[in-house]
């Protein structure tokens, strides 16, 4: 294959072949008003450009300029300057898959440590080197369960799983011979254990449950593991706010087979929505079907501790179309960032972050509950996020507060019809008491 | 040496017929080519296969291969000792290292397979 630009004669031939007169005709479906040359100001100096963009960005509300209570899958946890400084070290600069262990011990060790953190937090035996983000991690976990329960065709998902994750799963499943059953939540915002059990049949390969669920409710992992085990299916724990794992029972201890989700909370800044950091962990018995890279610990020829990619025969560069997944890389830089962050925090530090996030959220929830006109519709236990029901439509209310420097929450109308007055409020260790009191005052004044 | 009491495939499996039961394994040539075998994935009893269908995978330190049924039939027994310790396939591919036993659907198919002598010739020609 030659990488040479097409000549005019080539273009002529191609246009003739597809029956189009001019190249421009190929763009006819794009409205004329957006097809022309963009109207750009005349050239400016670097200083002027910086000034212009500084002004533009100052007009946007963001987590630094506002009191910030947005969550719904991305969380504003603190990342130390030390982590950034370490991340920028030149030794890490090639984050790509380290095929050659003899020149990649540092990268491999870091991935191994990231995997170890994920295993400790989930209570499972084996974690992979990371995936792109939580939504595709769930899709991969489901496909993995499908391979482990050959011949079964049905996945049962709690409706408490993040709506965007479920949408991603539907996309993955669209052209596969697999079906999805979604089990609606009970009136208290939690998964109805009996309904979940009833939805699982002998054709079911997986039962997936998220905790804390999308509405903030802490779920019992055993709801999923019991329902799955009863029918010979596998249970999947979905975690969108990974900091919760520092406080809540690890899925592995509750009989869960596969844990997956989003680890952005563990050392990755929100950075306008990505890159994020998917994770997936499972039991040793199922490790042959885990998707993606896996780093193992071994000994080199001289008997020293060393690391290398392991069980690679599952993967695309060896098994081609029969690989366990078409994911043949990992979110290397983000996994590294997370490993540095978690290694700095340690067990106690992470627990402190989780405890503070929870305690502050409890304070705020209590204050909002006493506001006239406002209601906390789901009374059950939450971690650091909860649903608030406002006396009026949430979207315009939140917009008014945003203009006043308080990003108070994410309206549920963005994800579902039927609850226009409700919004999600998330709290982390970064929220001060003053910010929370301000949010309460603003909500009170707006009602 | 390839034993005379069985039939062979071009994908290097053997099958030995005892009345209506066919025992299937891989040949000594196959285990040598694969090298140290570390993992084996086999179907469960009750599974029904057509001839030439993939029934499992075999993995060595340097490669992974699919396993194909020489004949059609229902799985009646799986060598769990080989799953637990795949090294026995290297040690004794024609004996203790067998993989699965099938209850034959027909006795026609065996005739299409190679004899030990034909298989020996086939391996020689493949090596050229």
Chain A touched by B117 (CB under 8 Å): no
For residue A428, give both structure tokens.
């982390």
Rounded distance between C-alpha atoms, residue A215 and residue A196, angstroms: 18
What pLDDT shows up at residue A56?
92
Domains, chain B, ordered by start: 7-122 (2.40.50.100)
Helix axes A433-446, A394-403, angle to 10 degrees: 130
- In chain A, the residue whose alpha carbon lies closest to the alpha carbon of B44 is A150
Counting Cβ atoms within 10 Å, is residue A2 exposed (0-12), middle (13-18) or buried (19+)? exposed
Q: A with B: how many residue pairs have Cβ under 8 Å apart?
A: 10
Cβ(A152)–Cβ(A282) below 8 Å: no
The interface predicted TM-score (ipTM) is 0.70
Would you call A313 an interface residue with chain B, using a CB distance cutoff of 8 Å?
A: yes
Cα–Cα dist B94/B98, whole Å: 6
Residue A184: its pLDDT value, please?
96
Question: pLDDT tens digits, residue range A401-439?
Answer: 999 999 999 999 999 999 999 999 999 999 999 999 999
Please report the pLDDT score of residue A99 as a whole number. 79
Domains (ranges, CATH) in chain A? 67-78+347-446 (3.90.1150.10), 81-341 (3.40.640.10)
Structure-token pair, residue B44? 């469960």
CA distance B12 to chain A (A): 19
Q: Do A319 and B39 touch (CB under 8 A)?
A: no
Question: Touching check for A231 and chain B: CB below 8 Å?
Answer: no
| Interchain CB distance below 8 Å, A313 and B41 | no
C-alpha closest to that of A73 among A189, A220, A239, A269: A239
**Distances B123 to A78, A324, A376, B90 between C-alpha atoms, Å:** 64, 32, 75, 18
Pairwise CA distance, residues A252 & A447, whole Å:
44
Cβ–Cβ contact A288 with B under 8 A: yes
Nearest residue, CB atoms, A319 vs list B39, B41, B64: B64
Distance from CA of A124 to the nearest CA of B (A): 22
Count Cβ atoms below 10 Å from residue B47 Cβ, excluding itself: 18
| Spatial distance between the Cα atoms of A187 and A190, rounded to a whole number of angstroms | 7
Inform me whether the pLDDT recorded for A123 exceeds 80.
Answer: yes
> Sign of dihedral through CA atoms A266, A291, A219, A284?
negative
Question: Residue B16 contacts by C-beta under 8 Å, 6 or more apart in sequence?
Answer: B3, B5, B6, B7, B22, B23
Q: What is the phi/psi pair of residue A323, to 5°?
A: -60, 160
Helix ranges, A79-191 (H): 81-87, 105-122, 134-148, 163-173
Closest residue by Cα to residue A260 from A209, A220, A336, A297: A209
Q: At A95, is the pLDDT very low, low, confident or very high (cuts 50, 70, 90)?
A: low
Phi and psi for A316 in degrees, rounded to 5? -60, -35
pLDDT value at residue A2: 65
Return mean pLDDT, chain A: 93
> Quick one: closest CA in A to B62, which residue?
A313
DSSP H or E segment with residue A344: helix A332-369
- Edge-first strand order for the sheet with A179-183 is A126-127, A278-282, A258-262, A234-239, A204-210, A154-158, A179-183
Residue A51, C-beta contacts closer than 8 angstroms, at least 6 positions apart? none
Does residue B123 sit in helix, strand or coil? helix
Distances (CA, A) of A23 to A3, A11, A76: 21, 8, 47
Q: A16: distance to nearest CA of chain B, Å?
A: 46
With a CB cutoff of 8 Å and minimum separation 6, the contacts of A351 are: A246, A247
* Euclidean distance between the first and the last CA atom of chain A, given in angstroms as a whole number: 66
Q: What percent of chain A clears pLDDT 90, i.e. is strictly above it?
A: 79
- Separation CA A40–CA A182 (nearest Å): 49
Residue A284's pLDDT is: 96
More reliable by pLDDT, A318 or A441:
A441
Query: Taking residues A16-35, what's their average pLDDT?
Result: 90
Q: Which two tokens stand for residue A191?
A: 């998964």
Task: Please tell me the predicted confidence (pLDDT) of residue A152.
Answer: 96
Question: Which of A284, A288, A298, A313 has the highest number of chain B CBs within 10 A, making it the mutation to test binding with B?
Answer: A313
Q: Does B81 touch chain A (CB under 8 A)?
A: no
Smallest CA-to-CA distance from A388 within A216, A184, A241 is with A216
- pLDDT band, residue A1 (cuts 50/70/90): low
Per-residue pLDDT of chain B (128 residues; tens, 9 = 90+): 899 999 999 999 999 999 999 999 999 999 999 999 999 999 989 999 999 999 999 999 878 899 999 999 999 999 999 999 999 999 999 999 999 999 998 878 888 999 999 999 999 998 77
Closest CA to A262 of A85, A139, A99, A152: A139
Residue in A64, A65, A51, A52 with CA at minimum distance from that of residue A403: A65
- What pLDDT score was predicted for residue B17? 94
Q: For residues A69 and A228, give the distance between their C-alpha atoms in angstroms, rounded to a whole number.
A: 35
The reply to whether residue A313 touches residue B64, judged by beta carbons under 8 angstroms, is yes
């Amino acid at each position: 294959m030659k990488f040479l630009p097409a000549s005019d004669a080539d273009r002529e031939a191609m246009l003739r072949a597809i029956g189009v007169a001019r190249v421009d005709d190929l763009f006819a479906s794009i409205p004329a008003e957006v097809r022309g040359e963009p109207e750009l100001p005349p050239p400016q100096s670097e200083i002027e450009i910086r000034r212009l963009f500084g002004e533009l960005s100052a007009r946007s509300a963001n987590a630094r300029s506002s009191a910030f209570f947005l969550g719904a899958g991305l969380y504003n946890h603190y990342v130390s300057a030390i982590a950034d400084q370490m991340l920028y070290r030149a030794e890490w600069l090639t984050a790509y898959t380290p095929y050659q262990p003899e020149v990649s011990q540092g990268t491999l060790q870091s991935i191994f440590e990231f995997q170890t953190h994920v295993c400790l937090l989930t209570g499972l035996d084996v974690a992979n080197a990371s995936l792109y983000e939580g939504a595709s991690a769930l899709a991969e976990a489901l496909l993995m369960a499908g391979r482990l329960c050959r011949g079964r065709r049905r996945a049962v998902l709690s409706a408490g799983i993040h709506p965007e994750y479920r949408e991603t799963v539907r996309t993955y499943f669209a052209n596969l011979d697999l079906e999805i059953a979604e089990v609606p939540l009970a009136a208290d915002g939690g998964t109805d254990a009996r309904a979940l059990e009833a939805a699982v049949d002998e054709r079911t390969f997986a039962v997936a449950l998220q905790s804390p669920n999308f509405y903030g409710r802490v779920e019992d992992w055993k709801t999923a593991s019991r329902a799955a085990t009863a029918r010979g299916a596998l249970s999947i724990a979905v975690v969108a706010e990974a900091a919760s794992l520092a406080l809540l029972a690890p899925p592995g201890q509750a009989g869960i087979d596969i844990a997956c989700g989003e680890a952005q909370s563990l050392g990755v800044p929100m950075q306008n929505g990505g890159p994020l950091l998917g994770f997936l962990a499972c039991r040793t018995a199922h490790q042959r079907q885990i998707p993606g890279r896996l780093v193992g610990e071994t000994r080199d020829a001289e008997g020293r501790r060393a690391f290398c990619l392991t069980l690679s025969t599952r993967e695309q560069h060896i098994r081609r179309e029969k690989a366990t997944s078409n994911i043949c890389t990992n979110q290397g830089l983000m996994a590294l960032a997370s490993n540095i962050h978690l290694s700095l925090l340690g067990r106690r530090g992470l627990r402190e972050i989780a405890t503070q996030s929870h305690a502050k959220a409890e304070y705020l929830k209590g204050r909002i509950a006493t506001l006239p006109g406002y209601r906390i519709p789901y009374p059950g236990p939450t971690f650091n996020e909860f649903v608030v029901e406002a006396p009026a439509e949430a979207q315009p209310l939140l917009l008014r507060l945003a203009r006043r420097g308080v990003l108070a929450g994410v309206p549920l109308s963005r994800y579902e019809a039927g609850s226009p007055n409700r919004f999600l409020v998330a709290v982390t260790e970064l929220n001060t008491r003053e910010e929370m009191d301000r949010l309460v005052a603003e909500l009170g004044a707006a009602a | 040496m390839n034993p005379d009491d069985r039939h062979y495939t071009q994908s290097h499996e053997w099958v030995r017929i005892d009345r209506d039961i066919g025992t299937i394994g891989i040949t000594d040539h196959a285990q040598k080519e694969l090298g140290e075998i570390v993992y084996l994935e086999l179907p469960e009893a009750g599974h029904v296969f057509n001839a030439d269908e993939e029934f499992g995978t075999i993995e060595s330190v340097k490669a992974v291969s699919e396993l194909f049924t020489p004949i059609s039939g229902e799985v009646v027994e799986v060598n769990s000792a080989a799953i637990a310790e795949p090294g026995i396939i290297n040690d004794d591919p024609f004996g203790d290292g067998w993989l699965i036993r099938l209850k034959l659907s027909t006795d026609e198919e065996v005739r299409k397979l190679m004899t030990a002598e034909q298989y020996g010739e086939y391996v020689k020609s493949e090596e050229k």
